[in-house]
Structure 1
Amino acid sequence: MAGQRAVARRAPGKLFVAGEYAVVEPGNQAILVAVDRYITVTASEPEASDAEADADVVVDSDLGARPVRLRRRGGRLAGGDGRMPHVVSAVETVAELLDERGLPVPPLKVSISSTLHEHGRKYGLGSSGAVTVATVDAVTSYCGLRLTTEERFRLALLATARIEPKGSGGDLAASTWGGWIAYRAPDRAQVLDLARARGVAEALRAPWPGFSVRRLPAPAGLSFQVGWTKSPASTEALVSDLHRRRTWRGSASHQKFIATTADFVQAAVTALEDGDGPALLHEIRRARQELARLDDEVGLGIFTPELTALCDAAEAVGGAAKPSGAGGGDCGIALLDERAAHDISQVRQRWAAAGVLPLPLRPALEGNEA
């Protein structure tokens, strides 16, 4: 059980490589990569001043002006004014598991530090997913729970689905396993129903139809480049907007998008596994084209001028590029010939001229995996 020793855990951010939007539907595959920017969460005993304030859980973040002090009310944490919802949901979900196992839920202080932001502005590297994964790991470890990597992922997905039911969980998988991964999402509604009906512990054990995750090798002969548009975007808002387009959902265009995405994602997985760089570049260009077709047809605003310039600059030197994730801002990715230093430099210069900041990111080979 919890003692006096603080427990710190970190989780990396992520970028989507291919398959965004389609992956929110259960069983559809996406490729993601974890990147070497991290959120660190430390679970410890609250300070005396927090106990005097009648706080059961205190959340202190370097992104917040003041701590969030929470009290347990009927299995939920109250008093946070809606701040730090992913952390709150993660702590609540872990507490449910402790209750089911007959273990006490200790008072907690949860301290958060992040390198996924720039002066308080997010890069779009999956900070919500990373903080959820790191919180689950830190709190379960502090409370003496020994969980497998997949069990910790499942707890994080349950916590996230309770507040963002349309999220695929791909960010959680990348933050958990690290490196390059192929991911398929389970049916989140079904998973939540399972947890409500049979408990969190059973939801960690039961089959999750549609879910899978496996590691992939890094691209052969290609340099992975990332550009930040300096404009934040809301993945949840963009995905929800697409789901509200009822005339599009179920249409021939929707079916074509899902089928085409499934085809180029699987081809990209094969290219990665075969070490075929040119084939991977071809599939990333197809991914850009299909996202552009979706954007033209539905008008989500996936492609901003900065993201279009980012892609054009990479393709001008024979590379491939696309928005990462929902688009509308945040980051784009590019794959360029790693031997062509001049071309890489030229692309970075064109990005800077277009208002895109090159980020010095590398794949995080380790995730949150124990």
Structure 2
Amino acid sequence: MTVVRRAPGKLFVAGEYAVVDPGNPAILVAVDRHVTVTVTDPTEPGVQITSDLGPTAQRHHWKDGRLGAEPYARSGFAPVLSAIDTVARLLSEHGAPAPEFSLSIESGLHDHGTKYGLGSSGAVTVATVDAVAAYRGLALSDEERFRLALIASAELDPKGSGGDLAASTWGGWIAYRAPDRIAVRDLARTRGVEAALRAPWPGFGIRRLPGPEGLSLEVGWTGHPASTTALVSGLHRRTWRGTPAHRRFVRATTDCVRAAISALERGDDQELMDRIRQARRELTRLDDEMALGIHTARLAALCEIAEAAGGAAKPSGAGGGDCGIALLAATATRDIARLRERWAAAGVVPLPIRPAAEGNPQ
């Protein structure tokens, strides 16, 4: 038996950093590059994992309900192992044995092993949950797939918002609010995965949004990978949370995101561009206050070039490298062409990326 599932990558449009607090909104868009996970019958006992990102295959064996005795991080496949373990926990609660299979990963979210910052960890988590569940005969709804993926992600690091998982699950443009990931993790540990799938998750919210029909989404890659985990962890380690500056940032960002959601729903392209500019200003102020390194020289150049072309731009995600986004009038083809030329001259790689369709493609 062979099961193939894939999940798209993502870009943050607005709401970075504030979204890590439960209930605060963000806007994300899924992109038309994917991670594909294939599960087939095993050739030997255990679970074999191969990937186009790694030179060698790994075989793991079940021990005390987990794949292998070593910490996940040492394997190089932490999100995959946590996703498999989470599905196995659900199967165990239904009286089913731990699954054994061969699993292979193909990623379109990297360039010769270098990540673009398009949410590859989130996409591989969602695709793995979906593929392993389907292999064992579990049909998951979108929300069940997301919840399993979030439980798996929270086991590794509950500081992540889960926005990447939501975009990889639902596709298209979405408004997302995060639940309390520590509470979700603890719920799954104490009451079981099935109970965590059915229980209310305070703060969590997801809703589809229409894309901006009159605007072109342009994506530029700085050529420098960034660690979202390190940047968000750096903010958590500082005495910023609960301060007046923290409250001001969250309030201003939340108001900005809500206005951007309203603009998307009304089809008001100019208002949306204004809110993108505001979101960039809020990230700049946060960076100035906390010295996180959100704005690099190339991200600054990306934004300035887009503004000069009549667009609106900002870093996408935690910053520090990876990608930035720009919105320009879709009819301004000369401005878009010039933007790409100037990005390339400034060391920013224009990526031929477009929003992915709604839904999780199989």
Which residue pairs with 1:9 in the alignment? 5
Q: Provide the alpha-carbon RMSD of the alignment.
A: 1.1
Distance across 2 between alignment mates of 1:121 and 1:106? 31
Post-superposition offset of 1:317: 2.1
Q: Deviations over 1:135-169 (max 9, x none)?
A: 00000000001221100110000000100110000
Give the residue type in structure 2 aligned to 1:32: L
Which residue pairs with 2:307 in the alignment? 315
Distance across 1 between alignment mates of 2:184 and 2:152? 11
Q: 1:233 aligns with which of 226, 230, 233?
A: 226
Q: 2:172 aligns with which of 147, 172, 179?
A: 179
Matched, 1:45 2:41: yes
In the TM superposition, what are the counterparts of 1:203-282 in structure 2 within 5 Å?
203-246=196-239, 248-282=240-274
Distance across 2 between alignment mates of 1:89 and 1:253? 36
Kindly indicate whether the alpha-carbon contact (under 8 Å) linking 1:86 and 1:131 is maintained by their aligned counterparts in 2: yes
Distance across 1 between alignment mates of 2:132 and 2:341? 44
Matched, 1:65 2:79: no
Q: Give ranges in structure 2 of 5+ residues lacking alignment.
A: none
Question: What is the SS of the residue equivalent to 2:299?
Answer: helix
Give the residue type in structure 2 aligned to 1:20: E
Q: Deviations over 1:193-242 (max 9, x none)?
A: 11111100010001000001010000131100000001000000000001
Post-superposition offset of 1:45: 1.2
Q: 1:75 aligns with which of 43, 65, 75?
A: 65
Question: What is the SS of the residue equivalent to 1:302?
Answer: coil
Distance across 2 between alignment mates of 1:159 and 1:353? 41
TM-score (normalizing by structure 2): 0.97
Matched, 1:156 2:149: yes
**Aligned-pair identity (%):** 65
Q: Deviations over 1:20-46 (max 9, x none)?
A: 100011000000000000000011112
Q: Deviations over 1:268-308 (max 9, x none)?
A: 00000000000000000000000001111110000001000
- How many aligned positions are there? 359
Kindly indicate whether the alpha-carbon contact (under 8 Å) linking 2:116 and 2:322 is maintained by their aligned counterparts in 1: yes
Q: Give ranges in structure 1 of 5+ residues lacking alignment.
A: none
Distance across 2 between alignment mates of 1:218 and 1:149? 20
Which residue pairs with 2:181 in the alignment? 188
Which residue pairs with 1:294 in the alignment? 286
Post-superposition offset of 1:369: 6.3
Kindly indicate whether the alpha-carbon contact (under 8 Å) linking 1:185 and 1:211 is maintained by their aligned counterparts in 2: yes
Distance across 2 between alignment mates of 1:74 and 1:350? 55
Which residue pairs with 2:326 in the alignment? 334
TM-score (normalizing by structure 1): 0.95
Question: What is the SS of the residue equivalent to 2:61?
Answer: strand
Kindly indicate whether the alpha-carbon contact (under 8 Å) linking 1:12 and 1:178 is maintained by their aligned counterparts in 2: yes
Question: What is the SS of the residue equivalent to 1:16?
Answer: strand
Q: Deviations over 1:305-334 (max 9, x none)?
A: 100000001111221000000000000000
Post-superposition offset of 1:100: 0.2
